[in-house]
Structure 1
Amino acid sequence: MRQPQPFITSTPKSAQQGFSLFIVLMVMIVVAFLVVSVTQSYNTEQRISTNDADHKYATALAEAALRTGEKKIADDDLEASQFTEECGEALCSVGTKPAWERATCGTSKTESCIDNSSGTLAAREAAKSPRYIIEYISQQPDGSEIYRVTAKAWGKNSNTVVMLQSYVEAEK
Structure 2
Amino acid sequence: MSRRLRRLQQGFSLIVVLMLLVVVTVLGVAAAQVSLVNERSARNDRDTELAFQAAEAALSDAESDVLGPNDSVRQRLCLFNHRDVTAFVAGCGGAGENQGLCAPGEPGTDPAWMTADFAADGPRSVAYGAFTGQTYAATARAPRYIVEAVRSRGTGQGDALQNASAQGPGYVFRVTAIGFGTREETQVVLQTNLYKPAASPGCPS
TM-score, with structure 2 as normaliser: 0.67
- Matched with 1:109 is none
- Matched with 2:179 is 153
- Matched with 2:114 is 101
Paired residue secondary structure (1:113): coil
Structure (1 or 2) with the larger CA radius of gyration = 1
Give runs of aligned pairs for residues 21-40 of structure 1, distance below 5 A: 21-40=14-33
Tell which has more relative contact order, 1 or 2 (C-alpha 8 A, sep 6+): 2
| Cα pair 1:144 1:170 within 8 Å, conserved | no
- Equivalent pairs counted in the alignment come to 152
Q: 1:62: how far off?
A: 0.4
| Structure 1: gaps (5+ residues) | 1-10, 103-111
| Cα pair 2:144 2:177 within 8 Å, conserved | yes
- Matched with 1:166 is 192
| Cα pair 2:62 2:175 within 8 Å, conserved | yes
Instruction: Give the Cα–Cα distance (whole angstroms) in 2 for the partners of residues 155 and 71 of structure 1.
Output: 23
Percent sequence identity over aligned pairs = 32
**In the TM superposition, what whole-angstrom CA distance separates every residue of 1:32-86 from its partner, at most 9, and x where no partner exists?**
1110110111111111111111111100000100111111111212241111114
Instruction: Give the Cα–Cα distance (whole angstroms) in 2 for the partners of residues 138 and 123 of structure 1.
Output: 35
Give the partner amino acid of 2:88: F
Which residue of the other structure, out of 13, 33, 38, is the alignment partner of 2:3?
13
Distance 1:14 1:139, change over 3 A: closer
Paired residue secondary structure (1:21): helix
Q: 1:23: how far off?
A: 1.4
Q: 1:161: how far off?
A: 1.2
Give the partner amino acid of 1:35: G
Distance 1:98 1:123, change over 3 A: farther
Give the partner amino acid of 2:58: A
Q: 1:139: how far off?
A: 5.6
